[in-house]
Structure 1
Amino acid sequence: MTPSERRPVTGGLVWFDEPKPPRATEQLSRERVVTAAVELADDQMPDEITMRALAARLGVRSPMALYRYVGSKDGLVDLMTDQVYGQITVPRGQGWRDALQGMGRTGWDVVQRHPWFARLAFSRPPLGPNALRLYDTALAELEPLGLDAATRMGFIKTVLGHVLGSGLALLEEHTMRARVGLHSDSDLAAAVAPYLARIAAEGRHPHFIAWANDPQRLTPEPQSFEQVLEWLLDGLATLVPPEGRPPT
């Protein structure tokens, strides 16, 4: 952020600490500003967006005009992340496992569309209306299990942790590929081939080289998001009291 964009930031949450945004104009409203910020973050990923770039996207002369609608840069992050939280869904009435599985899968879809979300989601408390709705719905589906409060939230955080951790890995991979110009898997394979040949010639890691030379090593894809999600749910199922488990 440049000096002309700076504004005192308290770190407070936009939901509670900022005044309501002014009446929408033809050019600006809170919804338009946040939607444009999400689109800009998608386009510029992995670079952090600036208020100046956002103002230019909206056709606004002064970046300071945007603060009237989002309060601060932290407020913008709150609003952006909550808009994306609203794209994660929890199936209702089909049991706890289907609920968390659906939350995980739609969350993975979200972080693939918006990789920056995984980074920003860790930077601010999830207390916006969409995030609260997500947590409340997931907790409602876990309620019949009779688990204690910490365990119920632990179930949810286990799945969302997998979503956001996988999203961060995806973001860092995109960052690396953009930085070094390895845009495809074949580009990456060609770049590491000389190093693998050197490791094989040294003979100190025979099991790794045997794996690397196995043509079936990626079939099926090891540790796909979906596979790890199923492993996590299998582990969580062991904490469910017998009366809460489906009949076998």
Structure 2
Amino acid sequence: MTSSDRRPASGGLVWFDEPAPPRRTEQLSRERIVSAAMDMADREAAGEFTMRALATGLGVRSPMALYRYVGSKDGLLDLMSDQVYGQLTVARGEGWRAALHTMGSTGWDAVQRHPWFARLAFSRPPLGPNALDLYESALTELDPLGLDAATRMRCVETVLGQVFGSGLALLEERTMRARVGLHTDDELEKAVEPYLERVAAAGRHPHFIRWVTDPGRHAPGPQPFDQVLEWVLDGLATVVARGGSAPA
């Protein structure tokens, strides 16, 4: 995930004209490489790794041994991304809202386990088998609504966009916390206290300060993403109700 990696291939999608990977050995297989890369990305705050570090972790001398199984660094990223797409599910036979809700909630679970997935979802096309299965399942559940193809896909992409946008924010925050050494919310709040005191004294942002000083601002309730997902689905319900047509 860094530009310093040397790629023997052009960076094309692994799904395009990919040769069959070599026979698995005791040390290497496509599955083992993908699993090790995902574990390494999970451990790094920014979700980045180099092919050389991955090769070392797998006990091989050169990254070239890995390329025989995955084609290129981009090919490996495609395989990693599609592996996570396989963790998203769509409720079947319970209506469009349940279908999109399970897709969104399982997607949020997935990006919390693998924050780097959100970045790959924006940078690598979702053309792997798991991604295609996910889209097919979601579109199938929307089909009875009689919406046109573009509107059905926009409904799916609206929910996934919320998942990936929230996941990217999570990744960036995790990267920031690791960089500045503020790992908990308490540490972060203590660090910004002097600045917020100056903002309050200036008196220019009273509504923001009222929120900051409200002891109930973090009151127990639905998880933030769950609430946002419900808002998104409420909005899509208006699209469904008018048959996908634009408002007058």
TM-score where L is the length of structure 2: 0.93
Q: How far apart are the structure 2 equivalents of 1:122 and 1:2?
A: 17
Percent identity reads: 73
Q: Secondary structure at the match of 1:69?
A: helix
- The question of 1:74 aligning with 2:74 is answered yes
Alignment partner, residue 206 of structure 1: 206
Q: Which amino acid aligns with 1:91?
A: A
Runs of 4+ in 1 over 3 A off after TM superposition: 220-223, 241-244
- The 1:142/1:125 distance shift into structure 2, 3 A limit, reads same
**8 Å Cα contact 1:41/1:48 also seen in 2:** yes
Structure 1 residue 98 corresponds to structure 2 residue 61: no
Q: Hey, what's the Cα distance between the residues in 2 that align with 1:243 and 1:126?
A: 27
* Equivalent position amino acid for 2:17 in 1: D
Q: Displacement, 1:95?
A: 0.5
- Aligned partner letter, 2:126: P
Alpha carbons of structure 1 residues 90 and 112: separation in structure 2 relative to 1, 3 Å = same
Deviations 1:86-106 (A, max 9, x none): 011111111100000000000
Whole-angstrom CA distance in 2 between matches of 1:55 and 1:169: 30
The answer to which of 104-113 and 55-64 deviates more is 55-64
Kept after mapping to 1: 8 A contact 2:84/2:110:
yes
CA shift for structure 1 position 218: 2.0
Q: What pairs with 1:32-43 in structure 2 (closer than 5 Å)?
A: 32-43=32-43
Query: Which runs of structure 2 are paired with 1:98-247 in the superposition (5 Å)?
Result: 98-220=98-220, 224-241=224-241
Contact 2:11–2:73 under 8 Å retained in 1: no
Question: Aligned partner of 1:74: which letter?
Answer: D
Partner of 1:7: 7
CA–CA distance in structure 2, aligned partners of residues 223 and 202 of structure 1: 33
Q: Secondary structure at the match of 2:123?
A: coil
Q: RMSD between aligned alpha carbons?
A: 1.9
Call closer, same or farther: CA 1:198–1:138 in 2, change over 3 Å. same
Residue matched to 1:63 = 63
Residue 166 of structure 1 and its aligned partner are, at CA, apart by: 0.4
Q: How many residues align?
A: 243
Distance 1:45 1:221 in 2: 28
Q: Is the 8 A contact 1:45 1:116 kept in 2?
A: no
Q: TM-score, normalised by structure 1?
A: 0.93
Alpha-carbon spacing, 1:64–1:87, altered in 2? closer, same or farther (3 Å): same
Query: Given that residues 147 and 243 in structure 2 are in contact (C-alpha distance below 8 angstroms), is that contact kept between their aligned partners in structure 1?
Result: no
Deviations 1:52-79 (A, max 9, x none): 1111111112111000000001100100
Distance 2:60 2:214 in 1: 56
**1:86 is matched by which residue type in structure 2?**
G
On the 8 A contact 2:46/2:171 being kept in 1, the answer is yes
CA–CA separation in structure 2 for the residues paired with 1:106 and 1:178? 26
Unaligned runs of 5+ in 1: none
| 1:180-220 residue CA offsets vs partner (Å, 9 max, x unmatched) | 11111110110110011111111122222122111112224
Distance change in 2, residues 1:91/1:222 (3 Å)? closer
- Give the CA deviation at 1:9: 3.0
Deviation, 1:6, is 2.1
8 Å contact 1:118–1:164 — kept in the other structure?
Answer: yes
* Unpaired segments ≥5 residues, structure 2: none
Question: 1:47 Cα shift?
Answer: 4.5
